[in-house]
Structure 1
Amino acid sequence: MPETVDSFTERDWQGTTEGTLRLALVGLGWWTIDEAIPAIRDTDLCEATVLVSRSREKAERFADEADVPHAISGAEYHDGEASDEYDAVYVATPNAYHLEYVETAADLGKAVLCEKPMEASVERADRMVEAADDGGIPLMVAYRMHTEPAVRRARELVQSGAIGEPVQVYGNNSQSLLSIIDDPDQWRLDPDATGYGTSMMDLGIYPINTTRFVLDSDPVSVQAQMASTHDAFADVPDERSTATAVYDDGVHAAFTATQNAYEDTELTITGTEGQLTLSPAFHMECALSLETGDREFSASADDVNEMTEEFDYFADRVLSGEPIYADGEHGRYDMRVLEALHESAASGTTVTLD
C-alpha cells in the first residue's frame, strides 16, 4: 500500500519541453470558446493559430475576440486554405461531422485531436481510423480524464494492489442539458448529429472509458436499458440510461447516465481489500479518495486544468513522435461499446463484443 495518495506525479507522461504545436480549431461551439481556447493559452507547447467554422464571419468574430490570427470557413479548410498556418487540428464539431474534417486533415498531413465520442457510428469511426492510417498522421481521441492527475493516481493505486483485486465498478454521469443550453433543437438531441443517442454517447462514455483506463481492461459484454419521457428527448432513445458491463479481467460494472437530471459525477471501484472513489469525477473537477480496512485518504489536484493537460499531452506526443494514447483504435472500441449498448437496449439481450 502506498503511504499516501495526496500527492501527484507532475506530468509523468512528458517527453519534451521544447517546441510549439500550432493548432487549427474546428467547430466553434461553447466548448471550444469557453474551455478549449482559454486552456490552450495556458499550455506550454500549443498555440491556437486558426479558427474554423461553417461561417467565415463567425470564425472571424471569435478570432478577433480571442486574438487568434487566422479565421476561415469549413469550405476553405477543406480547400487547404491557411494550411501553412497550423500543424495539427482539434475537431470539436457535432459527432456526425468529425469524419470529414479528419479526412481533410489526413490529406493535408496534419495531426488530429478529435473530441469524443469519435464519430456518430462504428462505420464512420472505422473510416476515420482508415483515413488517419492512409495519411500517416497521428490521431488522438480527446479523453481528457487520461491526463487528469487524480485519475492517473487512481490507476497507479489500483495497479499497485492498493484495493486488492478489483471486483466491481459503479459510475454515474448526469446533467441537465436543457439548463445548459435552453434549446430543444440543439444537436445533442438530433440523432442525425449525435449518433446512437445522447446520454450514453455524451456522458456515459466517461465512466465506461475511465474504467478502461484505470483498470487497463476492456468491456467484453454489455447490457442496457434506456428510456425517453421528456418531449425534448423524443427523437433520441436514452434520456435515461442504465448499463452493465463485464470487463475482460472479470470485473463487473454498472453505469448510469442522463442528460435530464441534477448534475452528479462519480466513479467507484471496489476491490477485495478496499475501495477507490472519484467524486466529483467528470465535469472538469476530480477528487480522489481511498479506503481500506485501516486507512483512509483523500486528495485532489485543484490547480490543474484538464484541457490544458490534454492539449499539452497531445502536443508532447506529436512533437516527440512518441505513441499516442488514446489513439483511433482505442476510440473505435468505445464506439463498438456504445453501439452494443444501444443494440442491447433495443433487443433486451446481452451483447458480446468479439
Structure 2
Amino acid sequence: MKEWIGSYNERDWQTAAGGTVRYALLGLGWWTIDLALPAVQNSDLGEVTTFVSSSSDKAERLANENGVDHGISYDEFHEGKASDAYDAVYIGTPNAFHLEYAETAAELGKAVLCEKPMESTVERAREMVDTCEDGDVPLMIAYRMQTDPAVRRAKELIEDGFIGEPVSVYGSNSQPLLEMTPDADQWRLDPELSGYGTSVMDLGIYSINTTRFLLGREPQAVQSQMSSHAEAFEDVPDERSGALLALEDGVKMVTTDSQNAHKDTQLKLTGTDGQIELRPAFHGKAKLCLSRDETTVTVEHESFDAEDEMREEFDYFADRVLTDAEIVPDGRHGLQDMRIIRAVHEAAESGDVVEL
C-alpha cells in the first residue's frame, strides 16, 4: 500500500509565474461574501476590485465594509460602469440569472467564472456557451472539487490503476436546507430561479461532475425516482432523489440527494482491485480512504475546506486567463452536466430509461 499513498501534488496545474486577474463579484449573498471573497483575497493570482448587487447602495456599503474599490448595481454593470476596474466576473447569483450577466461580460470582453449549475435549463446553458465562444472570452464553470487536492490525488490513483478497472460509484449529498436558510421563499425552492428542481441541481451535481472528472467517463443512460413531501418543497419535484446512471465501459453509478435531510456527503468508487472513498466528499475537509489487498488506510488533508478549494479554483481560473491555457471545466463541460440533470428529471417524470 505504501507505494500508492504518497503526498498530494498541489498546484500540478499551474503554468503562470505571476500576474493578477481583477474580479467583479456578482451576487453578494453569503456564499460570495463568506467564501468567494476571502478565497480571492487569499489567492496568489487574483484580487477583488468590484462588487455588483441589486442596488448601488447595497453594493457600495458592502464594498466599503470589505475594502473593495467599487460597488455598482446590476443595471450599472450592464451599462459598463467601472468596467475598466476588472478583468473577469464571478457570477454567484441564482441560476436563472447567470446567462444575462455572462452575456454582458462577453460584450465587455471579460472572462467569466460562473457558479454551477451554469444555468436553469439546458437551452440557456447552451446560449451561454455560444455567447462566450462568439465573444472569444474564457468561460469556466466553478467546480471547486476539481481543484481539491484530495480529489486530484484520487484521480491520479485511479489513472495509475489503484482500483483496477472501475466497476461502480456511489455518491450521496444531503443537507437540511431550511435549517441553513430558514426561509421557504428562498430561490432554491423556486423552479423559476433554480431550474429543473433543487436537490439534483444544487447537490447531485457534485457527485455527477466529480465522477465524470475522476473517471473520464460519461453517463449514457439514466433511471431515477424523486419525490417531495414537506410543504416548503411543494413547487419542486426532488426534495428526495435517487438515480442509477450507466456510464461508459459498463460502470454503474448510484446517486442520492436531498435538501431536507441530515447533512452527509460521500463518494465511493469501487474497481476490480480496490476502492477509493472520499468522506466527507463535497463539504468539509475531504479525506481519502484507500482499500486494496485487505488493507485500508486513510489519508487526510487537514487544511482544506470549501474556502481553500475555492482559492484553488480562482487561482486555476486566473492561471488560465493569464496564460491562455486550456480550461478543463469549460462551458461545454458544464453544459453536459445540465443535460445529465435534465435526463435525471425526465427519467423520474416518465418512469422510463432516458438515454443521453
- Please give the range of the TM-score, normalised by the shorter of the 2 chains: over 0.9
1:6: Cα distance to partner?
Answer: 5.0
Look up the match of 1:109: 109
Question: What is the TM-score with the length of structure 2 in the denominator?
Answer: 0.98
Q: What SS does the corresponding residue of 2:249 show, helix, strand or coil?
A: coil
State the alpha-carbon separation in 2 of the partners of residues 205 and 215 from structure 1.
15
Are residues 1:317 and 2:320 paired?
A: yes
Match of 1:179 in 2: 179
- Letter paired with 1:267: L
User: Are the equivalent residues in 2 in contact too, given 1:6–1:299 (CA < 8 A)?
Assistant: no
Q: How does 1:330-341 map to 2 (within 5 A)?
A: 330-341=333-344
Deviation at 1:2, TM superposition (A): 6.6
Letter in 1 for 2:22: R
Q: Output one character per residue of 1:13-72: Cα deviation in whole Å (capped at 9) or x when no partner.
A: 000131000000000111001100111111000000000001111111111111111000
Q: Structure 2 matches for 1:100-249, cutoff 5 A?
A: 100-249=100-249
The residue that corresponds to 2:303 in the other structure is 303
Q: Distance in 2 between matches of 1:337 and 1:329?
A: 13
Report how far residue 297 of structure 1 moved.
2.3
Instruction: Provide the C-alpha distance between the structure 2 equivalents of 1:339 and 1:300, rounded to a whole number of angstroms.
Output: 35
User: Does the 8 Å contact 1:147/1:309 carry over to 2?
Assistant: yes
Give the residue type in structure 2 aligned to 1:329.
R
Partner Cα separation in structure 2 for residue 334 and residue 231 of structure 1:
28
CA drift at 1:300: 2.4
The number of residue pairs the alignment matches comes to: 353
CA distance in 1, matches of 2:34, 2:5: 31
SS at match of 1:3: helix
* Matched residue, 1:63: 63
- 8 Å contact kept, 1:243–1:341: yes
Q: Which amino acid aligns with 1:316?
A: D
Q: Deviations over 1:273-305 (max 9, x none)?
A: 111100000014211111012432221222231
Partner SS for 1:324: coil
Distance in 2, matches of 1:114 and 1:244, equals 28
Q: Which stretch of the first structure deviates more once superposed, 287-296 or 326-335?
A: 287-296
Check whether the contact 1:223–1:349 (CA below 8 A) recurs between aligned residues. yes
Alignment of 1:237-276 (within 5 A): 237-276=237-276
What RMSD over aligned residues (CA atoms) do the two structures have, in Å? 1.0
CA distance in 1, matches of 2:196, 2:297: 39
In 2, the alpha carbon distance for the partners of 1:248 and 1:172 equals 21
Q: Do the aligned residues in 2 keep the contact of 1:88 with 1:111 (CA within 8 Å)?
A: yes
Q: TM-score, normalised by structure 1?
A: 0.98
How far apart are 1:4 and its partner, in Å? 3.7
Residues 141-176 of structure 1 show CA distances to partners (whole Å, capped at 9, x for unaligned) of 000000000000100111111011110000000000
Match of 1:72 in 2: 72
Q: Is residue 342 of structure 2 the alignment partner of residue 346 of structure 1?
A: no
Deviation readout 1:282-338 (Å, 9 max, x if unpaired): 014211111012432221222231110100000001001100010000000000001
- Partner amino acid for 2:201? M
Partner in structure 1 of residue 293 of structure 2: 293
C-alpha separation in 2, matches of 1:249 and 1:308: 34
How far apart in 1 are the matches of 2:339 and 2:155?
Answer: 24
Cα distance in 2 for residues equivalent to 1:283 and 1:146? 13
- Separation in structure 2 between the aligned mates of residue 268 and residue 202 of structure 1, nearest angstrom: 20
- Partner of 1:249, secondary structure, is helix
Matched, 1:24 2:24: yes
For the Cα contact (< 8 Å) 1:25–1:91, is it kept in 2? yes
Question: What amino acid is the match of 2:345?
Answer: H
Structure 1 contact 172–256 (Cα < 8 Å) conserved: yes
Say whether the 8 Å CA contact 2:4–2:157 is kept in structure 1.
no
Instruction: Kindly state the Cα deviation for residue 5 of structure 1 after the two structures are TM-superposed.
Output: 2.2
- The answer (yes or no) to whether the contact 1:63–1:70 under 8 Å persists in 2 is yes
Which one-letter code corresponds to 2:77 in the other structure?
A: Y
Supply the AA of the counterpart residue of 1:310.
Answer: E
* Structure 2 SS opposite 1:226: strand
Question: What do residues 62-84 of structure 1 show as CA deviations (whole Å, max 9, x unaligned)?
Answer: 11111111000000000000000
CA–CA separation in structure 2 for the residues paired with 1:317 and 1:298: 33
Distance in 1, Cα, partners of 2:167 & 2:319 = 35
User: What SS does the aligned partner of 2:250 have?
Assistant: coil
Residues 179 and 15 of structure 1, relative CA distance in 2, 3 Å threshold? same
